[in-house]
Each structure stands twice: as structure tokens, then as C-alpha cells.
Structure 1
Amino acid sequence: MNKQTHFFFAIKIPLETKLIMKKSTEKLIETLPFSRWVHHEDLHITLAFLGNAPSEKLTSAMENVQATLSGSEGFMLEISKLGIFGKLDSPRIFWADTKESNELQVVRKKVFTACLDAGFQLETRPFKPHITLARKWIGDKPFQQNLLNVWAELQPEPLLFNVNEVVLYQTHLDKTPKYEEKTIYKLE
């Protein structure tokens, strides 16, 4: 049986940060009815989603990303609040936001351009860095916007982490966690 698989480049979130987010997410799961919550080991910030990548194009993208990120420096990011995509009363995606970061924008542009140069057609919407926490609202009542304000209660101290790796992930829909690290690109 040929299983569909996808590839994407993403910012790797350090394990310590994932574990802190796991504790916060466990509290959210108790009160927010979403159909699927993301396993804490799968938390990341997508830079370029490639989809079902032909091996020749994938190899080209990997080489391009390696070249463009060579000499790039690591940086700090802060997870700052919660947000949603989709309908306000029935969100499709529930996510954690990061504070504005020029360094993140530069790394994303490098990776995105490297993938375009390899022949991939990528998402054209503006880049909105986020960490997906859950998918598909299934509550009996409409989602309440004030639920997005609980981040400050869950995380009273700033949640900072060092970004020092970009990763090429492969998706395995039949596994949990479902994202496998294929190649790691270190930021100095």
C-alpha cells in the first residue's frame, strides 16, 4: 500500500519548551473541545510546506536550504499569545503566536526562496508564524474570543526559546508523534 507522505521545513522548538507547552496544553484540553490536539513532540513553526515532494526536487530544495542557511545565526523567539484561524465561532486551527521577529522573517524568506528555486509551488498567503496546538472546534457552543486571553494565566513568565535549528520533517499520518526529522540545518 502506497502511503501518502508530506515534507516541510520548520523551526525546531527545543524539547524543554515543548514540555512547558505540553503542561499548558493539558490545562487547555480540559476546557476547549477541539477534535485533535497536536502531540507536544510535533510542535514546530512551518517555514515552507512542500507536500508530496518528488525526490529530485526534494534533494534540490535540501541543497538550496543548506547553502542559503550556511552562516545564519540563531536567535531568540518568545511565545506570546494564542490565536485562531478560520471562523471566529468555530475555528479550524488553534495556535500559539510568537512575538514579531525580523530574524525569523529572514530565515523564513531564505528557506521559502530556496524551495521556490528548487521548483516547488508554495503557499502564497502572507507568512503568519505560529505553533499549531489543536484542530477543528467541536464545542456545543460557539468558540469565545476571550478564551484566547488565557495564555497570560497559563504562562505568566515570558516563554523564550533559542532558535538554532531548521529541520526538514516528513509526515507519518499513521504514527504518533507524526513528524520525523529527516535533515537538521544548524544555525550558528
Structure 2
Amino acid sequence: MPRLFFSIELPAPVKERLLQVRASVAGARWQSSAQLHLTLLFLGQVSEGRVSELCDAARCLRLPPFDLSVAGVGCFGQPASPRNLWVGASPREPLVALQAALKENLGPLGFEFEKRTFRPHITLARFKKQRGSVAGLLEEYRDADFGSFQVTEFVLYQSTQGAGGSVYTVVERFALEA
């Protein structure tokens, strides 16, 4: 069964700027350019037979394109022992609306979703048990601007575990249109 999630792809210039935020930090597993994205909705394992149903429901969304700014570095967990280093995305409202619309369309089909509050972000690094401090990176990049772009589509990705971490393959792209 494929492991699936909906996401916003990032343009190459934004990814290039994000890849500059790297430092030698104990336990950090830095994301590659191909792994940088903004997750909208994680679905987990989905049977092959349900993928077309999932795509049909996503195609029904009618939301307008919107501008997105990528800026500011933060972390989940304490800076001295983080779980995740991330970059923020704003404005939040169109991202929250897109995620809510996906949930509304997919919920009646029996898909279940994470209960925690949606916090739009782009993961830069994940940390193993041995975690080094990211306090210096937070200070250096707290107000950094990594670029803006117009979001004109969202993507359904399949995630497969690989030797260098997860490998993401596009299953289908969905246009945003008013």
C-alpha cells in the first residue's frame, strides 16, 4: 500500500535558499532539495484501490491560487534539543483553507487525519535521539526571507523509504482555480 500525503511544491529558487541553512548540528538529518515541501495533509498507508477515489475528491476542490512567503526559521521542541528544524510559510489562511477543504472532501470517504493542529511549515532537518542545539541557527535565520511564489496547484505525493531518507514521487497534480 502506498504511503500518501498532499503537499505544496516549492520552486527551485526557494529550495536553493533553504539549502543554505545548514550547519554541523549533532543528530541533524538535513532534507535534500527533492525532500523540501510543505505538507498539507498526511494520509499514511492507502490501498491501491482507493487512490483514484482520493484523486477524484481532490479534483473537486475549487479554491483560488494564492501568494505564499517562506520566511523565518523555528523548531519543534527546545532549541537545545529539537525534534525538527523548520521554516515558516505565510499567510496561514489560504493554507488552512486548502487543508480544511481537503479534509471536508475526504472525510466522508472514510479517510482519517491527524488530530493535532495544522502548523504550516517546511521541514529543514529532523533529529535523531542525540540532538545538538539549533539556538545559533534560530538566531541567525529567525527573520530570514527565503522568497515568495504563487501557489497555483497542490500535489499528491507517494512517500517511499530509501537509503538516504524518504523519496517522494508525484501521484497527481491538482490545479487551484477560482
TM-score (norm 1): 0.81
Larger fraction in strand:
2
Q: Distance in 2 between matches of 1:49 and 1:94?
A: 19
The 3-state SS of whatever aligns with 1:47 is strand
Instruction: Describe the shift of the 1:175–1:146 C-alpha distance in structure 2 as closer, same or farther (beyond 3 A).
Output: closer
Aligned counterpart for 1:132 among listed residues 123, 137, 140:
123
Q: Which amino acid aligns with 2:91?
A: E
CA distance in 2, matches of 1:127, 1:146: 26
> Structure 1: any 5+ residue segments left out of the alignment?
none
Q: 2:7 aligns with which of 10, 18, 23?
A: 10
Instruction: Tell whether 2:81 aligns with 1:90.
Output: yes
CA separation in 1, counterparts of 2:14 and 2:137?
22
Q: Is the 8 A contact 1:57 1:119 kept in 2?
A: no
Q: What is the distance in 1 between the residues matched to 2:94 and 2:47?
A: 30
What number of residue pairs does the alignment pair up? 175
Which residues in structure 2 correspond to 1:27-176 (within 5 Å)? 28-29=22-23, 31-68=24-61, 70=62, 72-136=63-127, 138-139=130-131, 143-151=133-141, 155=144, 157=145, 159-174=147-162
**Distance in 1 between residues matched to 2:18 and 2:114, nearest whole Å:** 27
Sequence identity of aligned pairs in percent?
A: 27
Q: Is the 8 A contact 1:15 1:41 kept in 2?
A: no
Report the CA distance shift for 1:112/1:34 in structure 2 as closer, same or farther (over 3 A).
Answer: farther
RMSD: 2.3
Q: Quick one: distance in 1 between partners of 2:160 and 2:176?
A: 26
Task: Specify which structure has the higher proportion of helix.
Answer: 1
Q: CA deviation at 1:51?
A: 0.6
Shift in alpha-carbon separation, 1:172–1:117, aligned structure 2, 3 A: same
